[in-house]
């Protein structure tokens, strides 16, 4: 396309953005109009993509970080011929593929779910890391950001990571249109302010007039030719460009234009230009993943092994068996034990330093490229990345997250380091799997199972060494549990997971010696939960006593209640959980102070039976 045709294409994208929002009665046309010329030049001159083969290994990758500008993306898809005008006008309607914010669940050309601002660039970094270090097929990652979202800290975690890794296959295009939702942005049209920030993180920057198609092309060309640095194209634009009633005016964010027909006429009317997006270069497909089972580490019963050690060893073994497995860590690999993977598979290990939002977002980006990522940090610190986890679920992206140093059992470090909210956080994620092993062999088997699950998967690991309870050939299906103590005379059932399984067994032995038999269930699969085993136990023993190294809200006790949400009678349920703010103390003192150690379980059981609550 020549310059005149490019300008016409930009106008068409504006017109179609206005029309789509008008048909829906909602949307963000003004945010789309500011970036229309940026997308027109990208699609017509620089983007390489085979729309018939979204998985083509040589395809460039486009991430629309300002996901609210979805009318612009859909207008570009129409110009590329992959949707028609009728579908464009189904924008934001029930059953339409064209959602208010695009997701890969609906459209195969969308890389990741966006719309929670500040996440597109971090995910783009993950995709670029895959391209630079693993795929090596020469594709480029383009991320379109708005200027408002540059206030998000996640953007600057990503900027530093990309600069450090010298991701010259990554270009961020910043639509600097000066206006946010409620008024002017922090830096307005001061492109130098944005340039200084990106340059401080090792980026090459190019400033451009975002409505001059040849200047945009010059900026893109400079980005593509820059080696050893990622590039930020900082484009000065006007929100609502081309329509006098809305151009560069406040108070019009997220609203259809007041008079769409008049706006379309002012923009030159409806057009039907077609853009021929360049085909990607020939590229090899990713190597097939070996189908063999990993040779997992094995431990004998009675050995003292920390669950986190078992995680690291099992992950390294999984990486040996499967070339698609990658590991990421937040500069705590010596604690999470991700270091075992790093030593055996350094080419597939990604150090993200202390930046948990970037850690999880990079995992999402790697997953879009067919990798199976395991990302680890302290359980407490993964809370920082909860919104990235939430958006991974929105997009249907499969990632594995591992939180170490969970619960008060970590000991003297105190509450800032204790993950006591993590089970609730991950259980609340739609379609998630939440696992909490209590010994080494169980951990190894669950790590191997996680790799083949869908959605967000979370594994909670413990710090201290505990006895191995299960033999190396024991199986632990996701959604299952293990009954460790049982008799026909059981007076109640103790349900535990992780650290508290060991406390429950001690308590059960003590109670049995006093003539009070109790059942013990190891509920290692917190979500999905083993409904049948719990229902059977409730029916046979009359009461469930849950014991968890976690806050009461949203943890093991609530997971147990999920087994009785389909109209079944709810059993008597008593909960032992972390209810007070801990201080610094030894692990044993912490468990005792929280009321979740063996002695506390014994006391609770004796109180329940002795008071006549149970007969």
User: Is 4 in contact with 214 (CB distance < 8 Å)?
Assistant: no
User: Is 142 in contact with 42 (CB distance < 8 Å)?
Assistant: yes
- If we measure between CA atoms, which residue out of 323, 315, 360 comes closest to residue 341? 315
User: Is 408 in contact with 418 (CB distance < 8 Å)?
Assistant: yes
Rounded Cα–Cα distance for residues 233 and 173 (Å): 5
Burial of 104 per CB tally in 10 Å (0-12, 13-18, 19+): middle
356 is catalytic: yes
493-496 vs 543-551, strand pairing mode = parallel
Rounded Cα–Cα distance for residues 518 and 102 (Å): 52
User: Is 317 in contact with 296 (CB distance < 8 Å)?
Assistant: yes
CB-CB neighbours of 57 under 10 Å: 20
Q: Residue 583 — left, alpha, or beta (φ > 0 → left; ψ -120 to 50 → alpha)?
A: beta
Report in angstroms the alpha-carbon separations of 137 from 172, 348, 407, 504, 518. 20, 16, 43, 53, 60
Nearest 5°: the CA angle 458, 463, 466 is 105
User: Is 556 in contact with 534 (CB distance < 8 Å)?
Assistant: no
User: Is 491 in contact with 516 (CB distance < 8 Å)?
Assistant: yes
CB-CB neighbours of 608 under 10 Å: 20
- If we measure between CA atoms, which residue out of 141, 173, 145, 168 comes closest to residue 41? 173
Distance of CA 304 to the CA centre of its chain: 33
What DSSP string runs through 95-158? Answer: T-S--SS--TTT-TT--S---STT-HHHHHHHHHHIIIIII-S---EEEEEESGGGGSHHHHHH
Rounded Cα–Cα distance for residues 394 and 97 (Å): 14
Rounded Cα–Cα distance for residues 54 and 588 (Å): 54
User: Is 330 in contact with 401 (CB distance < 8 Å)?
Assistant: no
Q: What is the dihedral of CA 168, 172, 173, 175, to 10 degrees?
A: -160
Please name the residue that has the structure tokens 């030894």: 586
Rounded Cα–Cα distance for residues 311 and 340 (Å): 9
- If we measure between CA atoms, which residue out of 392, 399, 433, 430 comes closest to residue 111? 392
Candidate list 111, 152, 165, 356, residue with the active-site label: 356
Which positions are catalytic?
356
């Amino acid at each position: 396309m020549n310059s005149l045709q490019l300008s016409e294409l930009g106008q068409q994208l504006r017109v179609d953005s206005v029309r789509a929002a008008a048909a829906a009665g909602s949307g963000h046309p003004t945010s789309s109009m500011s970036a229309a010329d940026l997308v027109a030049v990208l699609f017509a001159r620089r983007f390489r993509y085979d729309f018939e083969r979204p998985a083509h290994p040589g395809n460039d990758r486009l991430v629309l970080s300002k996901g609210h500008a979805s009318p612009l993306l859909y207008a570009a898809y129409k110009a590329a011929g992959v949707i028609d005008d009728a579908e464009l006008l189904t924008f934001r309607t029930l059953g339409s593929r064209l959602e208010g914010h695009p997701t890969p669940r609906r459209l195969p050309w969308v890389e990741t779910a966006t719309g929670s601002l500040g996440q597109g660039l971090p995910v783009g970094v993950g995709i670029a890391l895959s391209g630079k270090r693993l795929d090596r097929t020469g594709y480029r990652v383009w991320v379109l950001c708005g200027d408002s979202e540059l206030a998000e800290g996640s953007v600057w975690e990503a900027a530093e990571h990309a600069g450090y890794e010298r991701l010259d296959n990554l270009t961020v295009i910043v639509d600097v249109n000066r206006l946010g939702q409620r008024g002017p942005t922090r830096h307005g049209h001061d492109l130098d302010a944005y340039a200084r920030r990106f340059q401080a993180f090792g980026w090459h920057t190019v400033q451009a007039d975002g409505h001059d198609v040849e200047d945009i092309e010059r900026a893109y060309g400079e980005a593509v030719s820059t080696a050893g640095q990622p590039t930020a194209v900082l484009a000065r634009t006007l929100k609502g460009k081309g329509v006098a009633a809305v151009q560069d005016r406040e108070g019009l964010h997220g609203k259809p234009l007041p008079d769409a027909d008049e706006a379309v006429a002012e923009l030159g009317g409806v057009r039907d230009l077609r853009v021929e997006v360049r085909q990607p270069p020939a590229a090899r497909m990713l190597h097939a993943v070996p189908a063999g089972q990993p040779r997992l580490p094995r431990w004998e019963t009675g050995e003292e092994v920390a669950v986190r050690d078992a995680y690291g060893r099992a992950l390294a073994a999984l990486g040996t068996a499967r070339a698609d497995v990658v590991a990421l860590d937040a500069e705590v690999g010596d604690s999470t034990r991700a270091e075992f993977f790093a030593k055996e598979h350094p080419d597939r290990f990604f150090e993200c330093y202390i930046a948990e939002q970037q850690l999880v977002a990079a995992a999402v980006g790697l997953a879009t490229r067919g990798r199976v990522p395991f990302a680890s940090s302290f359980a407490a610190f993964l809370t920082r990345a909860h919104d990235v986890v939430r958006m991974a679920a929105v997009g249907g992206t499969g990632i594995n997250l591992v939180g170490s140093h969970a619960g008060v059992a970590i000991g003297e470090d105190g509450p800032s380091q204790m993950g006591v909210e993590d089970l609730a956080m991950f259980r609340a994620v739609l379609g998630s799997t939440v696992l909490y092993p209590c010994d080494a062999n169980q951990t190894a088997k669950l790590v191997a199972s996680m790799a083949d699950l869908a959605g967000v998967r979370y594994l909670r690991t413990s710090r201290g060494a505990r006895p191995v309870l299960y033999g190396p050939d024991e199986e632990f299906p996701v959604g299952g549990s293990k009954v460790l103590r049982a008799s026909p005379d059981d007076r109640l059932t103790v349900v535990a997971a992780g650290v508290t399984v060991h406390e429950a067994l001690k308590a059960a032995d003590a109670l049995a010696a006093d003539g009070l038999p109790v059942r013990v269930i190891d509920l290692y699969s917190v979500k999905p939960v083993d409904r049948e085993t719990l229902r059977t136990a409730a029916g046979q023993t009359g009461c469930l006593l849950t014991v968890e190294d976690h806050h009461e809200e949203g943890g093991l006790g609530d997971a147990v209640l999920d087994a009785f949400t389909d109209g079944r009678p709810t059993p008597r349920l008593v909960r032992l959980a972390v209810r007070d703010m801990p201080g610094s103390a030894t692990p044993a003192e912490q468990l005792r102070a929280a009321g979740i150690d063996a002695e506390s379980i014994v006391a609770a059981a004796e109180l329940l039976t002795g008071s006549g609550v149970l007969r």
